[in-house]
Structure 1
Amino acid sequence: MRLSEFWQRMEARFGVVYARSVAVDYRVSALGATVSEALERGDSPKHVWRAVCDEFEISQSLR
């Protein structure tokens, strides 16, 4: 998954503005970091997206 696809999925789930807020402010337990921190440290967008899906119980259709 490319980073651009990751952000498209985040925006589809949370909305354009709120997706960025979630990425910066919400600590995802499986990542031990925020979304932004995980991406900055080099975690793959696919890994981060799966962690977000688990954390927020996102339906299989959006995974």
Structure 2
Amino acid sequence: MRNREFWQLVDEVFGAQYGRTLAGDQYLTELDNRTAAQAIDDGVDPRVVWHALCDALDVPDAKRWGIDKYRQAPPRAR
């Protein structure tokens, strides 16, 4: 997953306005108490950040991949 894809999913899953605010304000323990935006800026793999954000907000797997029902879900980092 690239940064561009991360932000596209944020917009699709949470809404453009709310998603960007959420990514900048929601501190995630899974990311060492950083926000998603801070973690992305710090170079954390976007798919790790995406899964941490979705896990924290209890987003079901079926809803994590945005509006494209054919988009392949990025696996969790090992």
Q: TM-score, normalised by structure 2?
A: 0.74
- Count of aligned pairs: 63
**Separation in 2, partners of 1:3, 1:26:** 18
Q: Give the deviation of 1:26 after TM superposition.
A: 1.1
Task: Could you tell me which runs of 5 or more consecutive residues in structure 1 were left unpaired when the two chains were aligned.
Answer: none
Could you say what the CA RMSD is over the residues aligned between the two structures, in angstroms?
1.1
Identity %: 35
Q: TM-score, normalised by structure 1?
A: 0.89
Residue equivalent to 2:36: 35
Please identify which structure carries the higher helix content: 1
Q: Give the deviation of 1:37 after TM superposition.
A: 0.8
Say which one has the larger Rg. Answer: 2
CA deviation vs aligned residue, 1:13-42 (integer Å, no higher than 9, x gap): 210011110111110121120111111111
